[in-house]
Amino acid sequence: MAPSCGTGNHPSSLIPRLFIRRLGSIKAGESLSQECDDSNFQVLDFPGGKVNFSSELRFLSESPLERISCYRVLDDYGQIISASNFQQVRKEIALKMYSDMVTLQTMDTIFYEAQRQGRISFYVTTIGEEAINIASAAALSIDDIVIPQYREPGVLLWRGFTLQEFANHNFGNKYDSGKGRQMPVHYGCNKLNYFTVSSTIATQIPHAVGVAFALKMDKKNACAITYFGDGGTSEGDFHAALNFAAVMEVPVIFFCRNNGWAISTPTTEQFRSDGAVIRGQAYGIRSIRVDGNDALAVYNAVHAAREMAISECRPILVEALTYRAGHHSTSDDSTKYRPLDEIEHWRTARDPVSRYRKWIEGNGWWNDEVELNLRSNVRKELLQAIQAAEKTEKPALAELFTDVYDQVPSNLREQEKLLRETIKEHPGDYPPDVPV
């Protein structure tokens, strides 16, 4: 009855050293190890590595005993947690981080208001996710390619997109780099390595893997980073992207903003895993969970992720725990589906911007006066930008037909001609601020 102990000349072969026990051939008390060396015997050589055999009928638990812990550097009071393992941020960078977070907040307030007044058609705020936006951007280099969702305009701000450029896009005027074709907040900027936003959830995630593969082939000292929400992790594109990235071994950072809600759907109805972070392991991807409302923790996690992604040419998954403190968009009223005190708690006790401010204040780098100045200057600059953007005419009619292809094909040339005739006949049907 001795099982044959194969020598395993072909360790990666699919004909493994299986030990087949003939039914009923072992008497009670007899042990296999009498006849064959244990170590050889209880291991299956299988593609991907050795697998131990076990005689225990045991299912892998659906969840680990403890939830994956969350990396943080600053406590709730903006003090560095004594044992924390982090890289010091230079004063200059630290202050730019703060002022960009404040600028992002101000942008949100003013554009939101402009939407309410009917001056722009739509808006999405990043309220509650300012630290994620700015600190992750600060940890990257400008050569890293950003493949965003729609709630990361702070990354673009950090990279130097001006308030006027934000306003031009949201008003869809002739200076909008997207030529007025998309809804507001669908920013994109080639020169800042920021791909154009699409409204479709999760479609950008596999793009990032392709981008990262290109960076790898071109031997660039850069990575790709893609952002998405907790809701996005349910789409097939998310899973395809993680699997591709692991198999292709590419330098990409998957940044999940787990903000608790996908419109009205809470994460408990989105997934039953321990958030997004745990999925990394299933795909063979190194992962970390970070406090998304702690700017220093986000900075450090992304900084380290970038180092590993590039030097080891591997994907990294970062899950930032946070809260969508605003409504989903200007089309949403979130009090319909979540308690006010929950929103209030995150807006006050867990606000990432004031927590970070306590830290820079503690360093003696900031005070009330500078704060007031900053806020009032940003506000003024934005109001001016909005006024200018609003007064600027829309892109010319010809742009309706360009960029569908690299050149305008004959069907579109014909349609343009017809349309121009119609406009001549019925000028009143068409908005006067689109030059024909």
Partner 1 sequence: MMALRRAGGRLLIPKRAFSTSLESVEKPQKDGKMLNLFSAINQALHIALETDPRAYVFGEDVGFGGVFRCTTGLADRFGRNRVFNTPLCEQGIAGFAIGLAAMGNRAIAEIQFADYIYPAFDQIVNEAAKFRYRSGGQFNCGGLTIRSPYGAVGHGGHYHSQSPEAFFCHVPGLKVVIPRSPRQAKGLLLACIRDPNPVVFFEPKWLYRLAVEEVPEEDYMLPLSQAEVIRQGNDITLVGWGAQLQVLEHACDAAAKDGISCELIDLRTLIPWDKETVEASVRKTGRLLVSHEAPVTGGFGAEISSSIIERCFLRLEAPVARVCGLDTPFPLVYEPFYMPTQNKVLDAIKATVNY
Ligand X SMILES: Cc1ncc(C[n+]2csc(CCOP(=O)(O)OP(=O)(O)O)c2C)c(N)n1
Which parts of this chain interact with partner 1 (CB under 8 A)?
A: 115, 117-122, 124, 150, 172, 180-183, 186, 198-202, 231-232, 234-237, 262-265, 269-271, 328-332, 336-337, 394-395, 397, 400-401, 404, 411-412, 415, 419, 422-423, 425-426, 429-431, 433-434
> What sign does the dihedral 41-44-49-54 (CA atoms) show?
negative
Choose one: 7-15, 222-230, 242-250, 399-407; the region binding ligand X (CB under 6 A): 222-230
Point out which residues pair with 286 in neighbouring strands: 316
Least distance (Å) from partner 1 to the CB of residue 180? 4
- Give the integer Cα–Cα distance in Å for 165 and 189: 10
> Quick one: which of 86, 166, 261, 356 contacts ligand X (CB under 6 A)?
261
Question: Which pair of tokens denotes residue 67?
Answer: 């939830």
Please choose which of partner 1, ligand X, none residue 364 contacts, taking the beta carbon within 5 to 8 angstroms, the exact cut-off set by kind. none
Least distance (Å) from partner 1 to the CB of residue 266? 9
- Stretch 313-342 residues interacting with ligand X (CB under 6 A): 324, 328
200 binds ligand X (CB under 6 A): yes
Q: Which is nearer to partner 1, 249 or 332 (CB)?
A: 332
Q: What is the largest CA-CA distance in the chain?
A: 99
Least distance (Å) from partner 1 to the CB of residue 412? 6
Choose one: 137-145, 185-193, 194-202, 277-285; the region binding ligand X (CB under 6 A): 194-202
> Quick one: which of 16, 172, 188, 231 contacts ligand X (CB under 6 A)?
231
> Quick one: which of 170, 193, 259, 330 contacts ligand X (CB under 6 A)?
259
- Give the integer Cα–Cα distance in Å for 436 and 416: 11
Question: Which pair of tokens denotes residue 246?
Answer: 């692991």
Least distance (Å) from ligand X to the CB of residue 330? 13
Q: Which is nearer to partner 1, 248 or 412 (CB)?
A: 412
Answer whether 285's CB lies under 8 Å from 316's CB: yes
Strand, helix or coil for residue 373: helix
Q: Is 418 exposed, middle or buried (0-12, 13-18, 19+ CB in 10 A)?
A: exposed
- Give the integer Cα–Cα distance in Å for 16 and 24: 23
Residues belonging to the active site = 113, 199, 328-329
- Give the integer Cα–Cα distance in Å for 282 and 100: 36
Answer whether 161's CB lies under 8 Å from 192's CB: yes
Q: Which is nearer to ligand X, 100 or 230 (CB)?
A: 230
Least distance (Å) from ligand X to the CB of residue 124? 8
Least distance (Å) from partner 1 to the CB of residue 197? 10
Least distance (Å) from partner 1 to the CB of residue 34? 50
The DSSP symbol for 323 reads: -
Least distance (Å) from ligand X to the CB of residue 356? 21
Please choose which of ligand X, partner 1, none residue 337 contacts, taking the beta carbon within 5 to 8 angstroms, the exact cut-off set by kind. partner 1
Number of shown-chain residues binding ligand X (CB under 6 A): 16
In single-letter form, the type of residue at position 262 comes to A
Identify which of 147, 268, 267 has the alpha carbon closest to the alpha carbon of residue 196. Answer: 147
Q: Which is nearer to partner 1, 262 or 298 (CB)?
A: 262
Measured in degrees and rounded to the nearest 5, phi and psi for residue 102 equal -65, -40
- Give the integer Cα–Cα distance in Å for 259 and 39: 47
Please choose which of ligand X, partner 1, none residue 172 contacts, taking the beta carbon within 5 to 8 angstroms, the exact cut-off set by kind. partner 1
Question: Which pair of tokens denotes residue 356?
Answer: 């970070």
Point out which residues pair with 52 in neighbouring strands: 43
Alpha carbon 322 to its chain's center: 12
> Quick one: which of 230, 291, 294, 351 contacts ligand X (CB under 6 A)?
230
Identify which of 275, 284, 211 has the alpha carbon closest to the alpha carbon of residue 242. Answer: 284
Q: Which is nearer to partner 1, 185 or 301 (CB)?
A: 185
Answer whether 32's CB lies under 8 Å from 3's CB: yes
Please choose which of partner 1, ligand X, none residue 259 contacts, taking the beta carbon within 5 to 8 angstroms, the exact cut-off set by kind. ligand X
Q: Which is nearer to partner 1, 71 or 150 (CB)?
A: 150
- Give the integer Cα–Cα distance in Å for 175 and 177: 6
Please choose which of ligand X, partner 1, none residue 261 contacts, taking the beta carbon within 5 to 8 angstroms, the exact cut-off set by kind. ligand X
Q: Which is nearer to ligand X, 249 or 342 (CB)?
A: 342
Please choose which of partner 1, ligand X, none residue 395 contacts, taking the beta carbon within 5 to 8 angstroms, the exact cut-off set by kind. partner 1
- Stretch 150-169 residues interacting with ligand X (CB under 6 A): 151
Answer whether 238's CB lies under 8 Å from 203's CB: no
Identify which of 250, 183, 247 has the alpha carbon closest to the alpha carbon of residue 48. Answer: 247
| Structural element, H or E, at residue 150 | none
* Interacting residues toward ligand X by CB under 6 A: 151, 199-201, 228-232, 257, 259, 261-263, 324, 328
